[in-house]
Amino acid sequence: MIIDGKEISNRIKEEVKREIQEFGYKPRLAILMAGDDESSKVYANSKVKACESVGIEAKVYYFSEKEEDKFFDTLEKLNEDKDTHGIMIEMPLPKGFDVDKVYDTINPYKDVDCISNYNMGRLFAGKPLFVPCTPKAIIHILENTGVDLEGKHAVVIGRSNILGKPVAKLLLDKNCTVTVCHSKTKDLAYHTKQADVLVVAAGKMNLVRGDMVKEGVVLIDAGINVHEGKIYGDADFESIKDKASYITPVPGGVGPVTTAMILKNTLEAFKYAVKSL
Ligand SMILES: NC(=O)c1ccc[n+]([C@@H]2O[C@H](COP(=O)([O-])OP(=O)(O)OC[C@H]3O[C@@H](n4cnc5c(N)ncnc54)[C@H](OP(=O)(O)O)[C@@H]3O)[C@@H](O)[C@H]2O)c1
């Protein structure tokens, strides 16, 4: 079955919108981006549109590659600003920007994509303030299938801090037995063939093909690869779709649900702010 990420996303957005209407006050999300990477601009603007669609006010703060000091001044001001509830940093930041300083500076209660070291620690300690948006989307999609995850063998390809590692941790929390693969893994197919649940998050087109998965696999493809102007995932959709019990397409799978989770986490940040009043 092909998972409809847009449909799942719309349902989450409706819930978020309804809750915001009940509050009668608009949460505010600040998006900071530096440099002039075109795709970062597109991502930032699409987040603004998504926010507007549910009643969240979003503002993008642009900085040039040379404005690192101004970037951190603004981040510190937004950390303290009572009217700003969520903060997101559009990655990647320009070369030379102190990314570790970003992780240590962002206010953890506004850190809606869970990038700070503090929030990462809380996530792995099982006491998260926020769950990072893409991993949260992946777990939501899996839960939405109705498949009982307990005792399943989940294989995650990718071990980045923003994606692979948190997904593996969240699957452990669901009582899966988890294998994490990466670029140094020997015989990737040996591992993928054992997966009941396979999460691919490597950023390598056609990394997983039909002959590498078992019948009935639940395949979640988080990869985004642009090839000849089109977007592809990491899995070869055509050769896997008839073998998989569930599969996410790219585009239209994990991506839209991730966007919905940004909105959901912004609402959570807003609730933290309301609680602290
Ligand atoms: N859908 C969404 O909303 C969303 C959000 C964020 C990211 N993404 C996409 O998800 C993908 C991963 O993102 P990321 O930020 O996690 O990327 P990343 O930081 O580059 O990490 C990629 C991971 O994949 C592993 N890897 C690379 N080549 C491999 C191979 N041939 N075999 C096995 N593992 C391999 C790397 O291993 P090493 O650790 O050994 O280098 C690394 O752990 C990208 O395509 C990105 O665009 C999608």
For residue 15, name the pLDDT band (cuts at 50, 70, 90). Answer: very high
pLDDT of residue 57: 98
| Beta strand 225-227 pairing with 230-232 | antiparallel
Closest C-alpha to ligand 1, atom 9: 223
pLDDT of residue 39: 86
Mutate to test the pocket of ligand 1, among 156, 179, 182, 199 (most ligand atoms within 8 A of CB): 182
For residue 235, name the pLDDT band (cuts at 50, 70, 90). Answer: very high
Q: How far is CA 19 from CA 11, 23, 110, 132, 270, in A?
A: 13, 6, 19, 21, 11
Ligand 1 atom showing the smallest separation from residue 207 Cα: 31
Q: How far apart are CA 223 and CA 235, in angstroms?
A: 8
DSSP assignment string, 223-258: --EEETTEEE-SB-HHHHTTT-SEE--SSSSHHHHH
Tell me how far the alpha carbon of residue 191 lies from the centroid of ligand 1, in angstroms: 17
With a cut of 90, say whether residue 75 has pLDDT above it: yes
Q: What residue numbers does the annotated binding site for NADP(+) cover?
A: 158-160, 224
With a cut of 90, say whether residue 277 has pLDDT above it: no
**212-225: pLDDT as tens digits:** 999 999 999 999 99
Residue type (1 letter), 2:
I
Query: For the chain, what is the mean pLDDT?
Result: 97
pLDDT of residue 276: 85
Percent pLDDT > 90 in the chain is 97
Give the pocket of ligand 1 (CB within 6 Å): 134, 157-160, 162-164, 181-185, 188, 201-204, 207, 222-224, 254-255, 258
Residue type (1 letter), 230:
K
Q: What is the mean pLDDT of residues 241-247?
A: 98
Strand arrangement, sheet containing 57-63: 57-63, 28-34, 86-89
Mutate to test the pocket of ligand 1, among 88, 141, 156, 183 (most ligand atoms within 8 A of CB): 183
Q: Name the least confident of 2-6, 184-188, 272-276.
A: 272-276
Alpha helices in the chain (DSSP H): 5-23, 38-54, 68-80, 99-105, 117-124, 133-145, 164-173, 188-192, 237-240, 254-275
Backbone phi, psi, residue 53, to 5°: -65, -20
**What CATH class does 133-255 carry?**
alpha beta
Q: What is the mean pLDDT of residues 242-265?
A: 98
- Domain 23-115 identical in fold to domain 133-255: yes
Q: How far is CA 125 from CA 105, 118, 129, in A?
A: 21, 11, 11
Ligand 1 atom showing the smallest separation from residue 164 Cα: 16
Q: What is the mean pLDDT of residues 83-94?
A: 97
Closest C-alpha to ligand 1, atom 22: 202
Tell me how far the alpha carbon of residue 119 lies from the centroid of ligand 1, in angstroms: 21
23-115 placed in CATH 3.60.15.10: no
With a cut of 90, say whether residue 10 has pLDDT above it: yes
**22-72: pLDDT as tens digits:** 998 999 999 999 999 888 999 999 999 999 999 999 999 999 999 999 999
pLDDT of residue 232: 96
Tell me how far the alpha carbon of residue 251 lies from the centroid of ligand 1, in angstroms: 16
Domain boundaries along the sequence of the chain: 23-115, 133-255
Q: What residue numbers does the annotated binding site cover?
A: 158-160, 224
Q: How far apart are CA 213 and CA 234, in angstroms?
A: 13
pLDDT of residue 24: 87
Q: Is 32 helix (H, G, I), strand (E, B) or coil?
A: strand
Q: How many CB atoms lie within 10 A of CB 132?
A: 26
